[in-house]
Amino acid sequence: MRKTPPAHIKALDPDFETAHFRQALSRFATGVTVVTTHAPDAAKGDSHSSNFVGITASSFNSVSLSPPLVLWSLGLHAGSLPLFHAGTHYVINVLAADQLELCKRFAFGKGDRFADTAYTLGQSGLPILDGALAWFECHNRSRYEEGDHVIFVGEVERCGFNNGSAPLVFQAGQFSTTVALP
């Protein structure tokens, strides 16, 4: 059930510049993911690397345990937005600390980002990256355009994880990992 505030209640105008807001947001440490889906006209089950599209995203979060839901977002001007918007499935791969180069390849790489990338195909026929800390194979349940992004809510059909690896973390414009507190 979606509840909205009464029409006469409005948010105040922001009392800050966009750059200030961005700096405040950067203080929040987040994990790093690579989200994968099918390239245009790709046949399900074909494992050739050019049949897939993948992007680095740090906007991942859990939503619900029952049903199992997760979310992530993608900018409205991203070239891959139409593919993720129209696709029925995607895989969210949570990166381990030793996968920084993979993170950069999917964030800034040109051409076939899956070339020389080790992966196996999940049941949806999409890449699960070898060495990922965790992965979530999702049905593309819903999409919400908000501001300058689209929020994707995925219903998790399958998931898995690896023990023993530290996560790749992004905070204040830098990559790092976590250290347990005493």
| pLDDT at position 1 | 62
Among candidate residues 79, 102, 82, 90, the one with its CA nearest the CA of residue 168: 102
| pLDDT at position 18 | 87
| pLDDT at position 110 | 82
pLDDT at 94 over 80: yes
CA–CA separation, 114 vs 50, rounded Å? 7
The tokens describing 36, both together, are: 């994968």
Domains of the chain, by residue range, sit at 30-171
pLDDT at 129 over 70: yes
Quick: pLDDT tens for 36-72: 998 877 666 666 667 899 999 999 999 999 999 999 9
The DSSP annotation for 124-151 comes to TS-EEETT-SEEEEEEEEEEEEETTEEE
Q: How confident is the model at residue 180 (pLDDT cuts 50, 70, 90)?
A: confident
pLDDT at 16 over 90: no
**30-171 is a CATH 2.30.110.10 domain:** yes
Query: What is the chain's mean pLDDT, rounded?
Result: 91
The percentage of residues in the chain with a pLDDT greater than 70, rounded to a whole number, is: 95
Among candidate residues 49, 56, 40, the one with its CA nearest the CA of residue 121: 49
Q: Which helix (H) or strand (E) holds 84?
A: helix 81-86
Q: Is 104 helix (H, G, I), strand (E, B) or coil?
A: helix
CA–CA separation, 85 vs 98, rounded Å? 30
HSE toward the beta carbon, residue 113, CA cutoff 13 A: 24
